[in-house]
Structure 1
Amino acid sequence: MTGRRVVVLDHTGQLGGAEIALQRLLLAVDDSWDVSVLLFSDGPFRVSLEEAGIDVEVLEMPERTSGQSRTTLTDPRVLVRSGSDSLAFARTVAQRVQRLDADLVVANSLKAAVLAELSSWRSRLPWVWHLHDRIAPDYLAAPVVFALRRLARRATHVVANSRDVARLTRLPPSRVRVAYPGLPDDAFTDDHTPPTPPVFGLLGRISNTKGQREFIQAAALVSKDHPDVRFRIVGEALFSDHPYAVEVRQLADELGIANRVEWTGWAPDPRAAIDGFTALVHASPLPEPFGQVILEAMARHVPVIATLGGGVGEIVGAPPDAPLGAGTVLCTDRGRLVAPGDVAGFAEAMKAILREPERNVQLARSAACATHEQFSVNATATTCQAAWRGATGASRPPD
């Protein structure tokens, strides 16, 4: 063992934003930490970690619990079933963590945080929560918000992925740090050549929280004046989101633009997918905890259209409490912002991209510069390691 032993817990084997951020972080931490990852289900994330040389193993959690999305947590039957499964599984997690001779447990998801707390009663280890979700009633059911805020108080430290996420924990500043999911140096390019004909792209899991419906509705408005423009949806539906994916495909048919919309499925190389866009559209109708795909596009000089809310304004440089009316577009020095769910605003922002190519280049250069200065993975690692050091030297927080 080369340093203090850290065991990271994550409930999924899928490659989402939190998982990509974790892998980048683990490759950036220094050798004073000996890190391994425990996943509660298998999948591409396990393969990616192994290919990166990161120690990883899978402890299979019952699929009926590991596969539950946060939107199903309003059902009391689901809560009871998940609670029972989690209590039983926590014993397995605690035993494995103890065998690994861990000094610290790090939870990288909501479900992992529940297991970290439940297993800590047996292992008696400190645990740090890397929080990638907004603990708020517009994001989670009210009883779940209450429970998760109580859970955050049990963590030795919380590391939030934006100031907005940190604020919503309602923890004192001494207990929560902000570490933006940073990018490695190879994420950056020097320029971007827009495709011909123009392509507006949305990259992310197909879900009603990601805004594919609003993207399709805006695409129909843009197509009336720009019949040559194409629209690309990159991603797949997970968990209980498959009916939504079917609904959105049907919507494209109903609006008469099915022949202009391309569905690529999961992208093995998101950077290549982003490079193929004229502009990236981030259309989440609910405030995003962070918005890592926006950062990816900015680093590659690809213009950005995004919904203002959550951590997005921190990325795109929006002034505090920036007003946004229906159908209006706020242009910062890094990109264009619209109100969540504002289909007319999305359409107007796309039209602005089409008619202002020189301004697009200026904004993209400014965004790439800001990303390089403010969102480096090395800065992420510095903040996270400070939280880890504080946790390994701290006692368990009081109830």
Structure 2
Amino acid sequence: MAPVRVAVLGHTAETGGAEIALMRLLEALDPRWQVTVILFSPGELESQLRQRGIAVRVLPLAQRTASRGRAQLKDPRTLLLSGRDSWGFVGRLAQLLRAEQAELVVANTLKAAVLGSLAARRARCPWVWHLHDRISADYLPAAAVPALRLLARTAHGVVANSHATARLVRLPAERVAVAYPGLPEESFAAAHQAPPTPVFGMLGRISSTKGQREFLQAAFTVAAADPSAAFHIVGQALFNDHEYAKQLEDLTSQLDLAGRVRFAGWSARPEADLDRFSALVHASPVPEPFGQVIAEAMARGVPVIATAAGGAAEILTEAPDPVPAPSPGEVLRTPLGQLVAPGDPRGLASAMRWVIDNPGDAESAAQRASASARRRFGAASAAAVCGEVWSQALAAASPRRRRGDAG
């Protein structure tokens, strides 16, 4: 049987969580899928995909549109300029899809879904949305939420990265599959060796939505009680977050933490950074769609402290239903880790102190979490779910395509 030609669309070539999840998925896919990734801008992701032997095409979208963050969707001027840029881009994208003889279009980001759905319709292809974003007013401008939920109804399949993400699409359960972003085998470690002195770390993009500010505020409290504790922030600012990164450096000086906090920048080997932590801190003050770094820390056997919202709570409780957040300053300890309220430095500090005071219990929870991660977050499992959704989308669209071709 000839492989199915699939065009996977992404609007950015920066390597954020959705892009890392995509690379891992493509490496684990069944050979029946012949994938070409179409990026709307050049960058690091293009190089990483090519290194993995994955076909890539770059179809540039105007920079002023490609670089807009989701918060800017409410600016009428932005919408007007983006509309002008997008109108011509959709036509070029449809032409490329036809040239690539794509049989299925898969959108991996919000912008890719908006533009790709229109181009797929012109190219007479079914399309599937791999949803890595919360379709909610706490994550997107309120005006965009109903439009994106309506867009999801036009997809031939939706794959959400958590049950928390899936609930917000407001589609019947049978219309949305959940595939946790998969981890390759090398992500898993046999055992974690805690460092001799406490090291608490954050790993990921520097952004106000990730909670580095709250982490520093908690670090101030922990540092006052334990002079040996150190704090690492691993990652860099992307998109429009460079001013926030500068504010973090200023805050570090104001809190007199300059000798205790290490800004490590981008890491080529994040697993090595995780192994240096006494615990990973996931401090997002807003609900996250998933929380990929939590799964990565669990796989390494590293204790985890996270905020009880969105996918993060789901990961540390193995419960698909929402978990009530602890009160400010309180900590919810699960068999797999610790949860605190979003935007709560006091709770983060209390959870960090518990790791210092109870290293044996923290490591026991981390070992249970590692076993849980192996059960739930393997790349092969994610590939199987996505492959099934892709197959169903092709099967559902085939009769309509035949009728259209006959006309």
Same fold (TM over 0.5): yes
Q: Deviations over 1:344-394 (max 9, x none)?
A: 000000000111111011011100001101111111111101110011111
Alpha carbons of structure 1 residues 255 and 102: separation in structure 2 relative to 1, 3 Å: same
Matched with 1:349 is 351
Matched with 1:364 is 366
Matched with 1:124 is 124
**Which SS does the other structure have where 1:258 is aligned?**
coil
Matched with 2:340 is 338
Matched with 1:64 is 64
Q: Deviations over 1:231-288 (max 9, x none)?
A: 1111111121111111111111111112211111111111111112111000000000
Matched with 1:165 is 165
**Which SS does the other structure have where 1:106 is aligned?**
strand
Alpha carbons of structure 1 residues 341 and 318: separation in structure 2 relative to 1, 3 Å: farther
Matched with 1:284 is 284
For residues 291-310 of structure 1, what are the structure 2 equivalents within 5 Å?
Answer: 291-310=291-310
Distance 2:244 2:288 in 1: 19
CA contact (8 A) 2:203 2:234 kept: yes
Q: Tell me if 1:328 matches 2:319.
A: no
Equivalenced residue count is 398
Return the TM-score normalized by structure 1: 0.97
The alignment-based identity, stated in percent, is 52
Q: Deviations over 1:284-340 (max 9, x none)?
A: 000000000000000001100000111112210166433511111111111111010
Deviation at 1:204, TM superposition (A): 1.0
For residues 108-187 of structure 1, what are the structure 2 equivalents within 5 Å?
Answer: 108-187=108-187
**Which SS does the other structure have where 1:159 is aligned?**
strand
CA contact (8 A) 1:107 1:130 kept: yes
Return the TM-score normalized by structure 2: 0.95
Matched with 1:389 is 391
Distance 2:376 2:280 in 1: 20
Deviation at 1:206, TM superposition (A): 0.8
Matched with 2:46 is 46
For residues 220-259 of structure 1, what are the structure 2 equivalents within 5 Å?
Answer: 220-259=220-259
Gaps of 5+ in 1: none
The alignment yields a C-alpha RMSD, in angstroms, of: 1.5
Deviation at 1:2, TM superposition (A): 4.2
**Which SS does the other structure have where 1:336 is aligned?**
strand
Distance 2:98 2:382 in 1: 28
Gaps of 5+ in 2: 401-407
Amino acid at match of 2:156: T
**Which SS does the other structure have where 1:142 is aligned?**
coil
Displaced runs of 4 or more, over 3 A: 318-323
**Which SS does the other structure have where 2:262 is aligned?**
strand
Distance 2:398 2:159 in 1: 16
**Which SS does the other structure have where 2:128 is aligned?**
strand
CA contact (8 A) 2:325 2:340 kept: no
CA contact (8 A) 1:301 1:364 kept: yes
Amino acid at match of 1:157: G
Amino acid at match of 2:355: I
**Which SS does the other structure have where 1:6 is aligned?**
strand
Distance 2:222 2:83 in 1: 47
**Which SS does the other structure have where 1:387 is aligned?**
helix
For residues 208-223 of structure 1, what are the structure 2 equivalents within 5 Å?
Answer: 208-223=208-223
**Which SS does the other structure have where 1:358 is aligned?**
helix
Deviation at 1:174, TM superposition (A): 2.5
**Which SS does the other structure have where 2:190 is aligned?**
coil
CA contact (8 A) 2:331 2:350 kept: yes
Distance 1:321 1:262 in 2: 33
Amino acid at match of 1:165: T
Matched with 1:77 is 77
CA contact (8 A) 1:154 1:397 kept: no
Matched with 2:403 is none
Deviation at 1:155, TM superposition (A): 1.0
CA contact (8 A) 1:202 1:234 kept: yes
